[in-house]
């Protein structure tokens, strides 16, 4: 259950994919549809928690975007606040919550305000749900199928450093050798946490399942794969090299991002992201492409999927905090659609 400022119970030991961090979306044996999902009868939700470590490498709008993506920071009415109440005449209010895809206890312990808003809703929407079959499909999508190999693209020295960074979380050599650059980037952009730890998104999903809330998936697995594959290969390689060469700096920025999130400061999160280019114009170009694919384009898609559920009201939407901010963010789009937005937390 969702808890108020308490430690969360650990889940069961993770599987191979969990240990290797190759599948990080919400996991229950539930088929994704464009509308509400019915929870499987008799399903033990703790089983979905036991897969939580599989979810951490798949949601590119999370820490990959949160640590590496460049976002144009500008003053707007949505610079501050993680939880927003959405009002429209004639329907119950809905809420949109900007999460951080992290298992850090400071993130997963939610205040009573957020817990209360969640409890008041009858439906729950999050970025993506993956079944076990979807996870296997995603793993396949992380691998080159055309004979390309990562080491020649990256260079022998950077490839060796990548394996060193991954340490005991590195996959078998034949798997790593065929890994696409964006998939390798996902591996090293994710913080190391205990295999049984659950992210904030995991906790919200598990609680929604326990309460038998209507479930809305905002993305399909293939759509997320397409978003990642559409990043130009030269951008993938440039961003991966930068992450390898600046690993300590990226870890420090992750801590800064967590602190900004705890302060509910969306503008600062955006500024941290912008600073990740370190003033390198060439790298900034690659990061702009990354942001367009995994933040802006996905925000537009999620807004499309939310159109009808929001019309019914009473839905709690949880998406990565970066999707809320900016002129192309979901809050600005909701305002343009005529919703009255009020910051709650």
| pLDDT tens per residue across all 345 residues of the chain | 554 433 322 333 233 333 333 333 333 222 222 333 233 323 344 444 445 444 444 444 444 554 444 333 445 789 999 999 999 999 999 999 999 989 999 999 999 999 999 999 999 999 987 777 888 899 999 999 999 999 999 999 999 999 999 999 899 999 999 999 999 999 988 766 655 678 999 899 999 999 999 999 999 989 999 999 999 999 999 999 999 998 888 888 889 999 999 999 999 998 887 666 667 888 888 988 888 898 999 999 999 999 999 999 999 999 999 999 999 999 999 999 999 999 999
The confidence score (pLDDT) of residue 270 equals 84
- CB–CB of 84/95 below 8 Å? yes
- 340 in a domain, yes or no? no
- CB–CB of 6/35 below 8 Å? no
CA-CA distance, 38 to 175, in Å (whole number)?
36
In which element (H, E) is residue 156 found?
A: helix 156-166
Computed on alpha carbons and rounded to an integer, the radius of gyration of the chain in Å comes to: 19
Which residue is associated with the tokens 């794969």? Answer: 225
Number of domains making up the chain: 1
Q: Which domain holds residue 163?
A: 17-93+107-318
DSSP label at residue 72: -
> 99 — alpha (psi -120 to 50), left (phi > 0) or beta?
beta
- 122 in a domain, yes or no? yes
- 302 in a domain, yes or no? yes
CA-CA distance, 314 to 303, in Å (whole number)?
16
Tokens of 216: 């809305």
Tens of pLDDT, residue by residue over 104-144, are 999 999 999 999 999 999 999 999 877 778 888 999 999 99
> 326 — alpha (psi -120 to 50), left (phi > 0) or beta?
left
Residues 6+ apart with CB under 8 A from 160: none
Q: Which of 24, 56, 65 is nearest to 269 (CA)?
A: 65
Which residue is associated with the tokens 């990256």? Answer: 154
- 3 in a domain, yes or no? no
- 345 in a domain, yes or no? no
- 288 in a domain, yes or no? yes
CA-CA distance, 321 to 324, in Å (whole number)?
6
- 82 in a domain, yes or no? yes
Give SS3 for 98: strand
Residue 147 backbone dihedrals phi, psi, to 5 degrees: 90, -10
pTM comes to 0.79
- 337 in a domain, yes or no? no
Q: Maximum Cα–Cα distance for the chain, whole Å?
A: 62
């Amino acid at each position: 259950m969702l808890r108020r400022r308490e430690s969360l119970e650990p889940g069961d030991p993770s599987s191979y994919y969990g240990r290797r961090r190759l599948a990080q979306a919400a996991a229950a044996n539930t088929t994704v549809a464009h509308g509400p999902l019915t929870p499987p009868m008799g399903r033990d939700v703790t089983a979905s928690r036991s897969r939580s470590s599989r979810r951490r490498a798949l949601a590119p709008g999370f820490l990959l975007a949160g640590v590496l993506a460049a976002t144009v920071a500008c003053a707007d009415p949505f610079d501050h606040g993680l939880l927003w109440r959405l009002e429209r005449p004639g329907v119950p209010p809905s809420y949109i919550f900007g999460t951080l895809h992290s298992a850090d206890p400071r993130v997963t312990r939610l205040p009573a305000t957020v817990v209360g808003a969640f409890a008041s809703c009858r439906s729950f929407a999050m970025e993506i749900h993956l079944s076990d079959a979807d996870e296997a499909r995603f793993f396949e999508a992380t691998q080159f199928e055309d004979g390309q190999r990562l080491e020649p693209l990256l260079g022998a020295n950077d490839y060796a450093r990548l394996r060193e960074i991954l340490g005991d979380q590195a996959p078998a050599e034949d798997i790593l050798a065929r890994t696409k650059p964006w998939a390798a980037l996902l591996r090293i952009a994710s913080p190391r946490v205990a295999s049984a730890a659950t992210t904030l998104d995991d906790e919200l999903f598990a609680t929604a399942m326990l309460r038998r809330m209507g479930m809305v998936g905002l993305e399909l697995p293939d759509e997320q794969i397409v978003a990642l594959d559409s990043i130009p290969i030269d951008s993938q390689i440039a961003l991966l090299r930068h992450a390898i060469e600046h690993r300590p700096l990226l870890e420090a920025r992750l801590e800064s991002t967590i602190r900004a999130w705890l302060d509910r400061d969306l503008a600062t999160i955006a500024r941290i992201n912008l600073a990740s280019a370190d003033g390198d114009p060439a790298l900034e170009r690659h990061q702009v492409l990354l942001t367009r694919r995994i933040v802006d384009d996905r925000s537009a898609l999620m807004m499309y999927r939310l159109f009808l559920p929001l019309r019914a009201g009473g839905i709690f939407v949880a998406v990565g905090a970066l999707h809320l901010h900016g002129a192309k963010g979901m809050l600005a789009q909701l305002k343009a659609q005529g919703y009255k937005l009020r910051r709650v937390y």
